[in-house]
């Protein structure tokens, strides 16, 4: 049973972002537990932090209470919509649009290598806006996990499954596979950024 809205509706999470990140994780909006604790992906059944460790994206097991450490591993986290809610059904279409404008500015400012949308629903909601952007390449798909044929201010776009325990669309093994593919995508992006060796 969620706590009375008066206890959490006004609360906002702090972004964990620094320039030049490998990955900026983007959630759709904070849940009630995240709002109350002040930490990202803090829901009791949320497996985000477990997936980070088991996929090899971080070298040690960390929890939502360590979200301020994400930049030391090359990651950042933010939400499309800052307002917390018990579920995404409470969000209004205009909040997505306003959230996109703010997110677009963050990507332009901080220049992550990869922007990872945490949830297919989030990607689906933003796709109409994304395909209007001049940087978007043809062939954008709605429900495919992994790397997308879209860049945002030079950042590649990756879609992860929602790690909430309420997400019945993907078993844990499929979630873990997607997070491992993200790790591979980071390695690939670093190799591609290296200048070619001079010939002898």
Residues ≥6 apart with Cβ < 8 Å to 37: 64, 65
The string of DSSP codes covering 74-129 is: TEEEEESS-S--SSGGG--HHHHHHHHHHHHHHHHHH--SEEEEE-HHHHHHHHHH
The two three-digit tokens of residue 58, written as one number: 């971080």
162 classed as catalytic? no
Which residue among 40, 46, 79, 162 is the active-site one?
40
Do the Cβ atoms of 34 and 81 come closer than 8 Å? no
40 classed as catalytic? yes
Q: What is the dihedral of CA 51, 56, 61, 65, to 10 degrees?
A: -60
Burial class of residue 85 (count of CB atoms within 10 Å of its CB; 0-12, 13-18, 19+): buried
Q: Please give the backbone phi and psi of residue 77, each rounded to the nearest 5 degrees, phi first.
A: -145, 140
Among 22, 29, 79, 162, the one annotated catalytic = 29
The upper half-sphere exposure of residue 52, i.e. CA atoms within 13 Å in the direction of its Cβ, equals 25
Q: Give CA–CA dist 159/141, Å, rounded.
A: 11
Q: What residues are labeled active site?
A: 29, 40
């Amino acid at each position: 049973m969620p706590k009375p809205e008066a206890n959490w509706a006004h609360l906002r999470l702090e972004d964990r972002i620094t320039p030049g990140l490998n990955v900026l994780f983007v959630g759709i909006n904070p849940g009630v537990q995240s709002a109350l604790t002040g930490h990202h992906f803090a829901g009791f059944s949320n497996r985000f932090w477990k997936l980070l460790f088991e996929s090899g994206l971080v070298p040690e097991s960390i929890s939502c209470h360590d979200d301020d450490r994400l930049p030391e591993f090359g990651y950042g986290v933010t939400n499309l919509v800052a307002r917390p809610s018990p579920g995404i059904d409470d969000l209004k279409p205009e909040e997505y649009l306003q959230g996109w404008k703010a997110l677009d500015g963050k990507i332009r400012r901080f220049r992550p290598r990869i922007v990872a949308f945490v949830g297919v629903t989030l990607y689906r909601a933003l796709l109409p806006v994304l395909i209007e952007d001049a940087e978007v390449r043809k062939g954008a798909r709605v429900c495919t996990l992994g790397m997308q044929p879209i860049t945002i201010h030079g950042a590649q776009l990756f879609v992860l499954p929602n790690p909430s325990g309420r997400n019945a669309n993907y078993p844990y093994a499929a979630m873990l596979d997607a997070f491992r593919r993200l790790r591979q995508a980071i390695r690939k992006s670093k190799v591609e950024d290296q200048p070619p060796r001079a010939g002898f």
